Amino acid sequence: MARALYVAATEPRSGKSLVTLGVMELLAARARRVGFFRPVVASDRGLENDMDLIAGRYGLVPGETAVYAFTNDDAQERLTKVGYAEVLKDILARYKAVEEQCDLVVCEGTDFTGVSTAFEFDFNAAVAQNLGCAILPVINGHGRDERQLGNAILAARQTYTARGCRVLATVVNRAGTPEPADLRARLAAAVGGHEPLFVIPEEPALGWPTMADVARALGAELIHGTEEGLKKEYHEVKVAAMELSHFLRHLTDANLVITAGDRADIVIGSFVANRSVASRGLAGIVLTGGLRPDLKIRNMLTGLSDSALPILAVEDDTYQTATRVNAVRAWLTPDNERKIARALGVFESHVDVGELEDHIDLARPERVTPLMFEYQLIRRAAADRKTIVLPEGEEERVLRAADILTRRQVANIVLLGERDIIRRRISAMGLDLAGVEIIDPVASPLHQTFSETYFALRKHKGITAEIAADIMGDRSYFGTMMVHQGLADGMVSGAVNTTAHTIRPSFEFIRTRPGVSIVSSVFLMCLADRVLVYGDCAVNPSPSAAELADIAISAAATATQFGIEPRVAMLSYSTGESGTGDEVDRIREATRLVRSRSPGLLVEGPIQYDAAADATVARTKMPDSDVAGRATVYIFPDLNAGNNAYKAVQRSAGAVAIGPVLQGLNKPVNDLSRGCTVTDIVNTVAITAIQAQQETGG
């Protein structure tokens, strides 16, 4: 079993950054302290070495838990002065400093940029062997047939083994095959061996540079647009050297336009074309020659209200600029969540992380960090993809979340809204939602069917056919009806809509599951080292004793759904028999009802929060309790207490609050806070998908 991994490319452009990212995502969700080490990086001045990506995404400290030993230049100088053996000793010393602080260390080999391929291959083998790391070779599959790949795998395995390295697994990356699983099986049969072999197909989108990549490589100035717009990817470069009308015929989807800075006609024409070019529009414009549009032109561009299309300016001439742009590489950067999501989606689709994990010496942690929990959500949802409808399809945060969810293959997404508006926003934001279904409820053929169904369900309440038709034009009602009719497995809304608007349709026709008297909610509170369940913090203002019991039992079931052992604390301002009064009696009665209805459930109440959470306090106040000091599910006496408590913990303790998660409905519908982030939406969709899996036995 390995406690340190060494990801080593066997040649240039193997795509080891993708493999390193995938391995880090897996291990950061399994171990509390994962370090990152590189023996040699290209330089210390930027993103060439993946240090920023890994340190930024996983909260590592540069120089402490994210460390490199040498830059290329320093390593060459050191080799010349003191020799190979001394350099290896220096690398080992730097590595040991990281190892002492971490449970597991991921090492990434050199970039094949400084010396010969053969030397770097041997150098990586020597480093891995001296550090005691199991090695994970990354084979470049681009342009190779099956026989060539088999030979490359055997050569890498034999070479590393001969140098005293243990090969943990082998990854063939960038394979040109539509059936990677079949290729994997054939290669495994051909090369033999006991270690796992994985095949990741070529993903062209990962090779598309962004406007930010261009800006960094050229040292360009952003003179129009936003930092967010720089995340747009370009597929092809178009140099505008001809008259505007001829040039416009050549524009296609996701083009980067290069033109002289005094070609105002090309700039304005490109802005106009951006509104009609294919699905994603243009990626951006680079102006050359050190020239800038004059004030009138800039004012005109501002009037076009297209801040999402970035314009960069450089000093080089057009020929020099085009040459440099054509040499720009695509980088995975910590601020580009979309590209990271696509990379992880590709890795997790083709690498059996469970099989890989079996070969790593990694004990299951007793404590769970937010990153661990969120990763588990994503993996569980992706294991059995469900269809989730998002009624607020025109909202920017929802579109960004849909992009990430699609790239990571978490769920099949349906967006509701006006098609033209959604498509224009997708284009302006540079997103790729080609696989996402977009439905306009008013124009959809489903509208008539849904209206008739709603009329049949609610006519006893005085609803007429005309009113039913109007109501089904409402996206929350339409989305909920999709869930009710089985056309979607769940719904997530609330980024714009109120909680009442989101969940009211569910009360009307999805309704509560048998044996549940009340719909309630919980927040999954991700603290630094554990995940707790808080309920009800969003729905029921003043629950009765019977309703509190129902909330507690539902919350315990929700905890179990997400891998949290339920130990339920029925909270009050007093503990045990110490207090009296109507409020304490209500909690005491609720606790009695929980015990009678769910005899096997660990529950304690009334109990104060400190006695429920702190083992030291528990030993004083309730020394014989199985829950006190160890509670995982906290049931608050009313909405006032619960809502304030979760927000206090969220803001003061830096907890990640996922929810509210609705419980008790026949089918999953979940609400968002109107202040939610893109990550909140992603997590809530994953939770909804997992709830849907439970409904279908997935």
Show the DSSP H helices in 544-626 as ranges.
Answer: 545-561, 582-597, 609-613, 615-621
* Own/partner long-range contacts of 112-119 (Cβ < 8 Å, ≥24 apart): 112/9, 112/11, 112/12, 113/12, 113/42, 113/48, 113/72, 114/40, 114/42, 114/72, 114/75, 114/76, 115/76, 117/11, 117/12
Structure letter (DSSP) for residue 390: E
Enclosing H/E stretch for 364: none
pLDDT at 172: 96
Hey, what CATH topology would domain 367-374+385-511+676-692 get?
Answer: Rossmann fold (3.40.50)
Contacts of 200 (CB under 8 A, 6+ apart): 15, 18, 19, 141, 171, 172, 173, 174, 175, 180, 346, 347, 350, 351
pLDDT at 542: 92
CA 177 → CA 141, 349, 680, distances in Å?
A: 9, 14, 35
One-character DSSP codes across 180-218: HHHHHHHHHHHH--SS-EEEEE--GGGGPPBHHHHHHHH
**Structural domain boundaries in the chain:** 4-205, 209-326, 367-374+385-511+676-692, 516-664
Q: Return d(Cα 577, Cα 694) in angstroms, integer.
A: 39
3-state SS assignment for residue 493 = strand
Specify which residues 2 forms β-bridges with.
Answer: 360
Q: Which residues contact 198 (CB under 8 A, 6 or more apart)?
A: 169, 170, 171, 172, 184, 350, 351, 352, 356
Query: Alpha carbon of 158 to those of 125, 154, 320: distances in Å?
Result: 11, 6, 45
- Tell me: cis bond preceding 204? Omega within 30 of 0 counts: no
Q: Which helix (H) or strand (E) holds 436?
A: none
Cβ atoms of residues 34 and 106 within 8 Å: yes
CATH class of 209-326: alpha beta
For 126, half-sphere exposure in the C-beta direction (CA atoms, 13 angstrom radius) is 14
632: phi then psi, degrees, rounded to nearest 5: -120, -20
Superfamily name with CATH number, domain 516-664: Isocitrate/Isopropylmalate dehydrogenase-like (3.40.50.10750)
Up-side HSE of residue 457: CA atoms within 13 Å toward CB? 19
Series of mean pLDDT values for 10-residue runs along the chain (698 residues)? 80 89 88 88 64 88 89 84 84 89 89 68 87 91 93 92 89 92 93 90 90 93 86 91 87 90 88 65 91 77 67 94 92 85 91 84 62 83 94 94 90 94 82 87 93 91 91 94 95 90 89 85 88 91 94 94 92 83 91 94 93 91 91 95 92 86 92 86 94 76
* pLDDT for the residue numbered 303: 59
Are 668 and 484 a contacting pair, CB within 8 Å? Answer: no
- Give the residues across from 8 on adjacent strands: 137
From the number of C-beta atoms within 10 Å of its C-beta (0-12, 13-18, 19+), residue 457 rates as middle
| Helix, strand or coil, per DSSP, at residue 590 | helix
CATH class of 4-205: alpha beta
Residue in 454, 459, 485 with CA at minimum distance from that of residue 470: 454
Backbone angles phi, psi at 54, to 5 degrees: -70, -45
The tokens for 508 are 């009307």
What is the spatial distance between Cα 530 and Cα 613, in angstroms, rounded to a whole number? Answer: 12
Determine the Cα–Cα distance for residues 391 and 474; give it in Å rounded to an integer: 9
Same CATH topology for 4-205 and 367-374+385-511+676-692? yes
Residue 678 structure tokens? 């893109």
